[in-house]
Amino acid sequence: MSIKQCRVNNRKQNNRIILNVCCLLLSIFMMGCQSTTRPDWYSNIAGNDIDYIYAVGDGRSLSSAKKSALSQINEQLWTQVSSSSAYIEQFKQVNDNQFSHQSAENRINTQSAEMIFTGIEFLQSAQDDAGFFVQARIKRENIKNQLKADLAAIEVRAQMILQQKAHQDLLIWWLANRTVDHLFRQYQVKVGVLSALDVTLVNKMTYLPQLATEVEKVRSSLLIRIVSDHRDRISIGVLQKQLALEGIATIEQTKPQITHTIIMKSNYRQSIVGDAFITTKFTDLITNNKNGKTLSKNEIISNANSLTNYKVSKDGAERHFSERMVEMGIWQSLGFSNI
């Protein structure tokens, strides 16, 4: 093939490449310039309606467009909350059985506090090449009624939890309800919105503040005795520290105020493999109530090796036990798996 023919072929090949690139760029440009035709009602949202809250939403699918509209309803509600002088956040402070109030709506994350309401009407929908559009509304009265019912349900739940205390072991009851704060968060969210809509509808709570007080009182009354072998000093120290982090007092002596006992039984097995001194520690943890009834039990296996002697490997096995307890968490370590 001559040099001239090669040049001609190269020129044709380059032209084809340029043509393909131009087609690709043109298609991308056309896609980018694809018009989104929104319906007229999408831009004309009814505002300041005394009976309804209106919202619109869009998305790739009809479902996502509806979710977008629901989010808009929540945003409108939280806008009213933030601008309402009637709104005060009520939060837990156990002090003389009273609730403290403070103006701090920024404590609630509006995205994480998004609520789901019933009775939402989807009035219109449309679709174009880009996706879907919907218009929705909900009666303000529906929101008020649902929030009032939700707040009443929180009170009923708090009352039931208080009643259960008389029929349960105190440690079990406290473990099940120590995160009572989640009820307060639910209350804060709902009372905030309801206050913005109509502050006269917010009723004073009775059982929820009582529950907060009782949870704290029970925690303060717990005193756990730890019974163990003198060889487990490191393990005992970690157990005491983990319980202290939960606000639970511990003791090793006998006192009338003791409410529970944790028995730590350890079995050390030692062996030599090559030059290594290996210690495996089998630890049984048994939690009993004041009457000696077993509430939970668990076994933790830990091990370590040393090239020096058994004492070093034994200390290492205890440290491994401590690491496992911290990793598992104190209550799972003790066998309270359902807490």
Q: What is the pLDDT of residue 113?
A: 59
pLDDT digits (tens, 9 = 90+) for 55-68: 999 999 999 999 99
pLDDT band at 101 (very low <50, low <70, confident <90, very high): very low
Which of these ranges, 11-25, 115-129, 188-202, 297-311, has the smallest mean pLDDT?
11-25
The Cα–Cα gap between 195 and 19 comes to 65
pLDDT digits (tens, 9 = 90+) for 123-154: 989 988 888 999 999 999 999 999 999 999 99
* More confident: 234 or 300: 300
Q: What is the pLDDT of residue 82?
A: 66
* pTM of the model as a whole: 0.72
* More confident: 337 or 67: 67
| E strand segments, the chain | 52-59, 89-95, 98-102, 121-128, 131-139, 223-228, 249-251, 260-273, 276-289, 294-306
Is it the case that residue 318 has pLDDT exceeding 80? yes
Residue 277, beta-bridge partner list: 272, 306
Q: What is the pLDDT of residue 102?
A: 37
Q: What is the pLDDT of residue 129?
A: 82
Q: DSSP state, 172?
A: H
User: How many CB atoms neighbour CB 59 within 10 A?
Assistant: 17
Q: What is the pLDDT of residue 106?
A: 40
Q: Is 322 helix (H, G, I), strand (E, B) or coil?
A: helix
pLDDT band at 104 (very low <50, low <70, confident <90, very high): very low
Q: What is the pLDDT of residue 107?
A: 45
Q: DSSP state, 203?
A: P
C-alpha distance from residue 323 to each of 54, 81, 336 (Å): 55, 46, 18
- Largest separation between any pair of C-alpha atoms in the chain: 109
